[in-house]
Each structure stands twice: as structure tokens, then as C-alpha cells.
Amino acid sequence: MKFSSNATTEIVFGDGSFDREIVRNALEKNKDKYCELLLFIPESGAKGKSLPIGIGIESVLKFVKNDVKRFSLNYIIFIDKEHCTLDYVECVKETAKDYGIYTSDVIKLNNEYDIYRFSCSVGSKKFRMYFVFLGYYCCIEDFILKICNEQIKEFRGRGCCQEYKKELKKIKDNCIEKAIDELFKEIENVLKDIRQTSK
């Protein structure tokens, strides 16, 4: 895969800089795979982007609504589970509707992970959103703790991530690499689907 302003697939983050760093590291480490795929990250400043992307599902979908009329056919959206206290599919569909994004088919790409492909439209423009919900219970921090064989309590709902951030500070970085490898296994579900459905 390559990162390019000519890409038709954009990567959008619904959380802070730590999530961005971990996901980017996972992609960079595996960039020799899926060589035919071009990816673009709006925050890189190319493609004429000036809209900031805030935190949360509302900010992400507001960005997509404004962006899709001009550019992409696919969006890969990484967002912590804490932002959807309801069923993930209903959470996306209901919030998308508020921003004039209409969803039709929804497919869960892997039974083991909470990764979904939404077929969408805004007016006559058709596109797909891939939502990758991060964390076992709440956020990417609890995912890393679990991969690092830490005993973790279950926290859910808004603000749950703060509990896991406290715990993550206590451990060393020596298992972050393992977590990055595990995260790419999730991301790979999306990349495979894009490759297969683009043929």
C-alpha cells in the first residue's frame, strides 16, 4: 500500500493522537502488502483539505458528508468503542442519517472483530464506509493492555477510556510492537475487502 493524494480511499480517525500513531505504525510496518492500494490521510494536508476532524462519531460523519462530494469512494474510519453506547450498526446508521448520509447494506467483515462495511450515499454519490471499532470493551488502550497480557477490568460507555489510559501508563512499551501486529490483523480485513470489491 502507498499513501497518496490520488487515493480513492481515505483513512479517518475519530480519536486522539495516540490512536493515530498506533494505526499509522501498523500501516507503515506492513506497507509492502496490498501494493496496489492507495491510501490517504486527510490530516496530511494534501488534496486541498482544510476541514479539521474532531473527536467522536459525529465529527467523523460530518467530515465524511462534506468530503465525499469532492473526493473519495471509500473511508476507513478508526474509532474507539466508547463513542457508541448503542449497538454499533444502529449507532452509525442513526448518526449518519442526522448528517444526510443514507446507509443501505451493512456487512460485518469478521465475526471476531467489530469491523463493518456500510454501503452509503449522499445524493447521487455512492461510497463505502468501513468502521473499525477499536478495543475489546472501550478503546485502543484496553486492546493493548489485553495483548500485553494485563488483567483488565471491564469499563464501557463514555469516559471509560480514561481508566485504561491510567493502566497503560504503568506498563512498559515492550509489548506495543505485538499490539501493532495484532491490530494489523484487524485492518487487513478491510484492505482485503477493498481489494476484492474493487476488481
Over residues 1-17, the pLDDT tens digits come to: 888 878 889 999 988 88
- In this structure, is residue 157 part of a structural domain? no
Q: What is the DSSP letter of 129?
A: E
Provide the number of structural domains found in the chain: 1
Find out whether 91 and 131 touch, Cβ atoms under 8 Å.
Answer: no
Which residues constitute the domain of residue 74? 2-134+177-197
All cell numbers assigned to 23: 494505526
- In this structure, is residue 146 part of a structural domain? no
- In this structure, is residue 46 part of a structural domain? yes
- In this structure, is residue 69 part of a structural domain? yes
- In this structure, is residue 169 part of a structural domain? no
Q: What is the CATH number of the domain that holds 47?
A: 3.40.50
- In this structure, is residue 118 part of a structural domain? yes
Question: Which residue matches cell numbers 483488565?
Answer: 152
In which band, very low, low, confident or very high, does the pLDDT at 50 lie, cut at 50, 70 and 90? very low
- In this structure, is residue 167 part of a structural domain? no
pLDDT in tens, 124-168: 999 999 999 999 899 999 999 988 877 788 888 777 888 888 888
What are the residues whose beta carbons fall under 8 Å from the beta carbon of 48, sequence distance 6 or more?
A: none
Signed CA dihedral, 144, 146, 149, 155: sign only:
positive
- In this structure, is residue 142 part of a structural domain? no
The confidence score (pLDDT) of residue 45 equals 45
